[in-house]
Structure 1
Amino acid sequence: MKNIKNILLGALFFVTATILGQTKITGKVVDEMGDPLPGANIVVKGTTSGAATDFDGKFILNVESSSGVVLVSFVGYESKEVSYTSSDLGTIQLISSNLLTEVVVVGRGVIDLAEGRKTPIAVSTIKSAEIQDKAANWDLPEILKSTPSVQNIKAGGFGDGQMFLRGFDQTNTAFLLNGQPINGMEDGKMYWSNWSGVMDVANAIQVQRGLGSSKLAISSVGGTVNIVTKTIDNKSGGYIKQTVANNNYIKSTIYYSTGVSEKGWSFSSLLGHWQGDGYVNYTGGQGQTYFFSVGYQPNINNTFNFLLTGAPQWHAAAGRGTIQEFLDNGIRYNSWNEEGVNSPNLINGPEGKRYPGGRNIYHKPVANLSWDWNINESSSLSSVLYGSLGRGAFVSERISNGTGFARGSYNNHNWYGLVSNYSNELSENFNFNIGADIRTYNGLHFRGVNEFVGISSIDESSTFSGNYTISNTYGGINPWGMLFNPNTDHDQRLDYDYEENITYYGLFTQLEYSSDKLSAFFQGSLSNQDHVKTDHYNFTESTDSEKVSNFGYNLKAGTAYEITENHKVFGNVGYYSRQPFHDDLFDNIRNSNDLIIPAVENQKITGFELGYQFGSEFVSANLNAYHTTWGNRTLLSNNGEIFDTPAYESYQTQGVEQIHMGVELEVFTRPLKGLKVNGFVSVGDWQFNGNGRQRTFDSDGDEIGSSTSVQLDGFKVGGAAQTTAGVTVDYKLLSILSVDANWNFYKDLYSVGSLTQESLKLPTYNIADLGISISPKLKENTYLKGISFRLNVNNLFDEVYLESVNGNTPASVNPSENWKGLNTSNRARFGYGRTWNASIKLSF
């Protein structure tokens, strides 16, 4: 009994000493404008003991000692170390930063953020709060328009927009979702309708212009855009958000996260639905968003996370019209849908416009599994295993007198990959990375029947050999139907039927040296791509093309020197030998396995960058200069006519060289408490150098005539404005009310077209946007942690402007045939007029 008594007394003493030895410290974390930062992390330095701030930015943390240091961090802000000797730390203010160290919980070694090395690059960061405020019913390119050398083209229908970076289109900019490449494997394209939900789950987006810091075996020309989504939240909570906008747009979203349990588990999920009529006539659409993430941290050295997300949707498309047609009918005019227009997609049956102008229907679920392993104090391994199933089609009706069918042009795929990166701190000054980037892709392309109208089958015996009757339908108008009924029967397909198999494997490495003042790095990668195309001839036999293997590599190096604490200079140089896209290799991608002769060779890209950075408490600035030579590229274009008509022609121009050079300046200021004023200006000179050889194809993809030489030397590169500028002002009027506005200016924008003659210079324009946020204070200890209201008005002054022109017809001698110096016969798209959206968000 005496021994038991002693044990109990000893245990009681130990527990009491532990409790009495603990100290509670409190404080509040705010941003530079004095707003609370809910969810900020406070960790005792050198330990895993920590806490998170509540909705009001307040925290309580138990510490073992009455003195020490805590590390305070929050997404998109510079971390701060705070010493404590008392129980109240007071108000801790964090300053905005382009770095995103605190964002990444999983896949840290794979997601190539700018702080991956100390040598600076040309980079801009959009943080979660701004994304949530301004995204609403917009795609990602619209959110990035206030960064240097970026232009967004809305292009009519939901999700059909494009982004240009330093004059290069989306096919030549690498887009990564938590380290996973998401550009199309066949042609590099991005379709934002497939990623309509990414804004809802984005923690931050970082735009790396030019060479960037990407360690992957990716040879992007324009730059890299890193989309970092939510994965593991430290604290439980969620929100319900309702958005309404012009043209009957409505969007509902609900998100919840459990936080991290004591056993290391965490779950988060998001569900959303949207629908609307579209700004352009007859471009309605609807879709859903789903996101599910489960994380597990068995110990401090291992973190696992599984993520599944998708955005099934359908939306009607918009065609280009002539400038004159827009002037006659208004900027919402849709040449593919208006009554009386001779369009192959116009519906004349009694059932009305079921597929106005053609309907894009797609579902692309994406899943990835991440593992971060801290092997020891100096080395770590990060890996992301991912997969994607794309199912969908562009559907248009073939109906006469109320009977016929809806034809779908299917573009399905099965895509799997692995990215893995090993990092080792060799010494105090040297850090080494090496990794692998492996992808396998199967693309399935064909035409089939989505649904019948007034009939149950069609006889295609006159087109194909033997008795050929199509009676099966696939997908219908529902993107979920596309996913689960993807049409696998070769004898039920129309027009064309082929597959593409691409295997990609690469190795990449980086060595970095850093000291107090000087840093330098070297990056290199090797990759190989294998291409095989399979045609299912007449749906009775299959024939494989010759296997094509292309080897590529890239080399990047740079150095930086810190002159003083506030001044830093840097320089980077890179050379890429980049493989051509799969679609550039074949004579006729739809109807032939023949390779282009002579064979398409690798593109050659050389880039140079110089930069200067200045930073102080109230003002910081980034100045960048760049020069990029892009040689031996293959350029695809068309004459701007309506597809599926005899007038439509497309062009493939080989041996093209482009030179892009320019200067970019970003300035960030905080002149007064509660006021932020940021601005940028970018001036570029992008033009073609030398000449090329052009091949011409009709709307069926058959070559017309033989290749001809085209004169390109000195022609301006079209598509994006070469001079842009912008100012953003954010002012907190009251503790619950803030107002922000931005102004964007576009000049030196040129048309695109057949390249047979010089591009046209488009009129200069500018756009102003306005935003208002209201966040009323709520009583403490309520289930509802916060409520906020947001109103956005885009193109506040209803500016009428041309955002793109596809054509090269020069101005007419007759002034009545011109508009602002442009011949009105050129096909074009006008930008959106004034639009608005409003939302309410309830946080719990």
Structure 2
Amino acid sequence: MRDFAKKLLFGFVFLTSLTVFSQATVTGVIVDADLNEPLAGANVVVKGTTDGATTDFDGKFEFTTSEKSGQIVVSYLGFESKVISFTVSGNTVNLGNVTLTPDENQLEGVVVVGSGVIDLAKDRKTPIAVSTIKAAEIQAKIGTADVTQALVNTPSVYVAGQSGGYGDSRMTVRGFQQDNTAFLLNGQPINGMEDGKMYWSNWSGMSDIANVIQIQRGLGSSKLAISSVGGTVNFVTKATEKKQGGFASMGVANSDYFKSTVGYNTGMSKKGWGFSVMMSHWQGDGYNMGTRGEGQNYFISLGYKPSDKHNFNFLLTGAPQYHDQNFTKSISTYLQYGRKYNNNYGYLNGQYLSERTNFYHKPVANLNWDFNINETTQLSTVLYASWGRGGGTGNYGTRLRTADGLVDFDTMYANNLATANGEGSYSNGNYLIRASMNNHAWYGMVTNLKKKINENLSFNAGMDLRTYYGTHYRQVANFLGLNSWTESRNLKGQNDLPTGTIVSNTVTDYGIAKPWEAMFNTVGESQRIDYDYSERISYGGVFGQVEYATEKVSAFFQGSVSEQMHQRFDRYDYLPEYKDAKKVDNFGFNTKGGVAYNITGQHTVFVNAGYYSRQPYHDNIYLNYTNAVNPLTENEKILGLEAGYTFTSSIFTANLNVYRTSWKDRVTTTSTVLTADGTIGTTPVSTGDLIYTTSQNDEQLHTGAEVDFTLKPIKTLSVKGFASVGNWEYRGNAVQRKYNEGLDVLDESKVDIEGGKVGDAAQTTWGLGAKYEIFERFSIDADWRNYDKLYANVSARKENIELPSYDLVDAGISYKMLVGKDKKNSVGFRFNMNNVFNEVYLSELTTANKVQAGDETWNGINVSNAGYFGLGRTWNFSIRYNF
């Protein structure tokens, strides 16, 4: 019996040893095929067994299996699963980098260039509050809207202004308007250098060329010294595509909208060359009356990869367009004429004519160079340029209206014809349509050197250089029967005071208010009216970042300093010797830091903080569009704090973020030359004295929490949701001070604004969306959003008015049919319906008139308030052939 026991024990040990020694270790990294970023929480399992693992925060996995060969299944929420065959040779199997492709039908593989310049969240391991929208979703859901529509299902984002017309939308992030949100195109800053604003009509082709849109709320990952108070929005365009092929698409929509697009790419040749091109045309009547529009978009990309060390890509894109505009009106006016009413147009001899047309063409060119110096060092550089030409038309002179409130072009045309010799002027009561032109040339460079010092430590350093020259003037766009227009002005001299030199000029030339014509034709300086000035803005900045990262902990520190230089040149209102304003230089900086802890492969927490000292914009430096320098401007101070938690798994991901952003020392200044003697406060003042008036807010404080999640319980169903709850208020007092030229305080008044609500964006938003694949390549989807705590967009005040809350539901259907030899080509169909239930709602107000006794109201709002009703039910349908 004892011998038998020994044999049994020996046999057990022997079999156990065989089992142990027969096991192999399987390792690898799972990454996103498009962004080349690691995928944490992906499932990796040997088919038919329980052997497997979940990837960690860096996308890595490791497990053991006793299988000698078989198939490994890799799956991740929102991506197509991948099956990999393997055979064990020795005791290890290293699968290397396994790329997963998003399961959206129309997402195309591209070569992403400028990877060291484009500040995507993947470039830093310490997390941020971020949402990424990829090409397939952009193409599917934009329809006739601006590219801002792609961001509506994002926490703390509010999109307004769509009722103004094609391209007139705007967006806020965490309650901060567009001049306080940074927008980047392939790493290139694209906010206006004069005022920080964005004009989406200039970027009407973005939905066609964007490969990825990533919105980083709050501090973000950008290393540049930019205006990212609310957040940073990165547009990453398509580059030269890897594969040969192309597509053609056509779309139709409500309001007689039509769009056609074609694209083709040669693929990358054996010698490393590739070429891609895309062109589109669109036109439509607009949702509201008098908002017609038409435009094109072109995209050309030339790629060259001579070796593994170098990758070049040249890109040229532009979107010439014109669209007629609708402006805010009182609610009572809408109730009288209808919610689609627009009073900016009329008829001339029975033909439609708009008084307000925006027209612009802004070609943008990028040259990207990625240089892999060695395994640990990469240099990325982008040289860019843009040339904007165009403007907006409006009334000039004495305007008349018809009984139904439209512009009475027929009567005004007849009045002009009756003017002696067709010589028009204000004094004669004439009218014409003018165009306010905004032409500019912008050149810049961003370069970034990334060095991996060791396994855990990396370093970035770079430069950001820009120079901008803009010219602004008015010209005649339509004489409406006149032969000329004459006006006079009193030229200014020293200290911006009138000199008594009266000059008069008569113009006979005009410019056509269309984008292509404006691109190549400019009226001479002697043919300009009302104003004519230019500005040069130059900017230089250096930045750096250090990041330390292990499997459990990551930490980073960023810093940047910048110098911004301004000068204004006024050719119209000044004597020649005083046309050049004083040069102004401003220094700014920012610092950011953060730390993250990876509790497990699925749970991560982080804390970030940042401080900005931001230079004032050009339009705040020179007062009232004159050469007078504002001596009272100072840098704005922004302090941002944020913390977050991320959970990832194969079927569910969720993010929780909380934030606190303080914005101080916001100063706006105006100046006035007194026309009579008097007193300000207790100080005597005289005719001709220059008086400065400043308005300063103590603080604007934005706090809030955001949640977003994605769930995929089964392969055919995905569910997304988000919620954001904010409290955006003014703190302290709004202080108004009056100064003389010696900067002595003459008077001061304080207005209590403590607790006043910041307007123009819903402070509470909720959203839920789902996509279900009924059968292979046929799916339906829907999104619901609720907007609450939306206040009027007015200046800082203690009392504001709240707009009624509202809900929107959007829905769509997609189908992709495989065609051609070997079914390699496809035809895709997409139908969208937005605001399915035709909700009637106010999307924004620009006044805050309270309800008084006897006032007429609409849903509790005084009808004297001005604003926009949101768009009603709209639809669009598209078909796309890929080959």
TM-score normalised by the shorter chain: which range applies?
A: 0.7 to 0.9
CA separation of 1:242/1:708 partners in 2, compared to 1, >3 Å: closer, same or farther? farther
Find the aligned partners of 1:72 and 1:291 in 2 and give their Cα distance.
Answer: 36
| Cα deviations by residue, 1:746-779 (Å, 9 ceiling, x for unpaired) | 0000002244552111101010001000112325
- Match of residue 18 from structure 2: none
User: 2 CA distance for matches of 1:118 and 1:421?
Assistant: 18
Selected match of 1:424 from 448, 451, 462 = 451
Change (3 A) 1:260 1:636: farther
Cα-to-partner distance string for 1:630-669 (whole Å, 9 max, x where unaligned):
11124699xxxxxxxxxxxxx9743452100000011110
Distance 2:203 2:513 in 1: 19
1:441 counterpart = 2:441: no
Instruction: Give the equivalent residue in structure 1 for 2:498.
Output: none
Determine the structure 2 residue equivalent to 1:833.
Answer: 872
Q: TM-score, normalised by structure 1?
A: 0.83
Distance 1:668 1:447 in 2: 51
Tell me which of 630, 633, 637 is aligned to 2:666.
Answer: 633
Q: SS where residue 328 of structure 1 aligns?
A: helix
Q: In 2 relative to 1, CA 416–368 (structure 1 residues): closer, same or farther, beyond 3 Å?
A: same
Distance 2:73 2:298 in 1: 34
Give the Cα–Cα distance (whole angstroms) in 1 for the partners of residues 317 and 73 of structure 2. 33
Q: Distance in 1 between matches of 2:259 and 2:694?
A: 41
Q: Is 1:145 aligned to residue 152 of structure 2?
A: yes
Distance 1:193 1:76 in 2: 32
- Which of 367-376 and 100-109 deviates more? 100-109
| Residue 477 of structure 1 pairs with residue 513 of structure 2 | yes
Q: Residue 141 of structure 1 contacts residue 151 of structure 1 at CA under 8 Å; is this kept in 2?
A: no
**What does 1:419-818 correspond to in 2, within 5 Å?**
419-461=446-488, 465-466=502-503, 468-474=505-511, 476-487=512-523, 489-538=524-573, 541=576, 543-589=579-625, 592-597=626-631, 599-634=632-667, 653-693=695-735, 709-755=750-796, 758-781=799-822, 785-814=825-854, 817-818=856-857
Q: 2:603 corresponds to which letter in structure 1?
A: H
8 A contact 1:110–1:383 mirrored in 2? yes
- Identity across the alignment (%): 49
Instruction: Give the aligned partner of residue 57 of structure 1.
Output: none
Specify whether residues 804 and 315 from structure 1 end up closer, same or farther in structure 2 by C-alpha distance, changes over 3 A only: same
**Contact 1:510/1:523 (CA < 8 Å) preserved in 2?**
yes
1:388 touches 1:415 (CA, 8 Å); kept in 2?
A: yes
Q: Deviations over 1:726-755 (max 9, x none)?
A: 001000001131000000010000002244
CA contact (8 A) 2:163 2:287 kept: no
**Cα distance, 1:756–1:515 mapped onto 2, change above 3 Å:** closer
In 2 relative to 1, CA 671–351 (structure 1 residues): closer, same or farther, beyond 3 Å?
same
Partner deviation per Cα, 1:771-800 (whole Å, 9 max, x = no partner): 000112325347x71101100000000000
Residue of structure 2 in register with 1:411 after alignment: 438
The separation in 2 between residues aligned to 1:762 and 1:547, in whole angstroms, is 44
Per mean C-alpha deviation after superposition, the further-off stretch among 190-199 and 772-781 is 772-781
TM alignment of 1:27-42, pairs within 5 A = none
The structure that has the greater radius of gyration is 2
The one-letter code matched in structure 1 to 2:628 is D
Question: What RMSD in Å do the two structures reach over aligned CA positions?
Answer: 3.1
Contact 1:348 1:401 in 2 (8 A): no
CA contact (8 A) 1:491 1:540 kept: no
How far is the alpha carbon of 1:461 from its aligned partner?
4.7
* Contact kept? 1:605, 1:628, Cα under 8 Å: yes
Task: Report the CA distance between 1:712 and its aligned residue.
Answer: 1.8
Q: Distance in 1 between matches of 2:109 and 2:550?
A: 23
List gaps (5 residues or longer) in structure 1: 1-30, 42-65, 338-346, 638-650, 697-704
1:104 Cα deviation (Å)? 5.8
- Letter of the 1:661 partner, please give it: T
Contact map agreement 1:446 1:497 (CA 8 A) in 2: yes
C-alpha distance in structure 1 between counterparts of 2:266 and 2:651, whole Å: 38
Q: d(CA) in 2 for partners of 1:375 and 1:72?
A: 33
CA distance in 1, matches of 2:267, 2:69: 28
CA contact (8 A) 2:119 2:221 kept: yes
Amino acid paired to 1:172? N
- CA displacement at 1:67 relative to structure 2: 11
- Amino acid in structure 1 at the alignment position of 2:340: R
Alignment length (residue pairs) = 743
Q: Any idea what SS the aligned residue of 2:241 has?
A: coil
Matched-pair contact (CA < 8 Å) for 1:634–1:656: no
CA–CA distance in 2 between the matches of 1:713 and 1:667? Answer: 35
Distance of 1:669 and 1:73 partners within structure 2 = 14
The CA distance in 2 between the partners of 1:75 and 1:170, in whole Å, is 32
CA contact (8 A) 1:257 1:269 kept: yes
Q: Does 1:156 align with 2:164?
A: yes
Distance 1:217 1:323 in 2: 41
Once the two structures are TM-superposed, the CA of residue 95 in structure 1 deviates from its matched residue by: 7.2
Q: What corresponds to 2:413 in structure 1?
A: 401
Instruction: Single out whichever of 822-831 and 653-662 deviates more from structure 2.
Output: 653-662
**Aligned residue identity for 2:548:** Y
Note if contact 1:621-1:667 (Cα within 8 Å) is conserved in structure 2: yes
1:788 and 1:498 map into 2 onto residues whose CA distance is 50
* Counterpart in the other structure of 1:112: 119
Q: Is the CA contact 2:840–2:869 (under 8 Å) kept in the aligned structure 1?
A: yes
CA contact (8 A) 1:420 1:436 kept: yes
How far 1:516 moved relative to its partner? 1.2
Q: Do the aligned partners of 2:553 and 2:596 also contact (CA within 8 Å) in 1?
A: yes
Deviation larger for 273-282 or 441-450: 441-450
Q: Does 1:369 align with 2:361?
A: no
Whichever residue aligns with residue 829 of structure 1, its letter is: Y
* 3-state DSSP of counterpart to 2:851: coil
Question: How far does the alpha carbon of each residue in 1:368-426 deviate from its partner, in whole angstroms, 9 at most, with x for none?
Answer: 11100000110010000001111111112546234454311111111110000000001
The verdict on how the C-alpha distance between 1:101 and 1:290 changes in structure 2, with shifts beyond 3 A counting, is closer
Please, which runs of 5 or more residues in structure 2 have no aligned partner? 1-29, 37-67, 89-94, 397-408, 417-430, 492-501, 671-692, 739-745
Asked whether 1:134 is paired with 2:141, we answer: yes
Q: Does the residue aligned with 1:375 lie in a helix, a strand or coil?
A: strand
Query: How far apart, in 1, do the equivalents of 2:101 and 2:646 lie?
Result: 17
Change (3 A) 1:494 1:706: farther
1:202 aligns with 2:244: no
Tell me the TM-score normalized by structure 2: 0.80
Task: Give the superposition deviation at 1:93.
Answer: 9.3
Contact conserved, 2:111 with 2:242, CA < 8 A, in 1? no
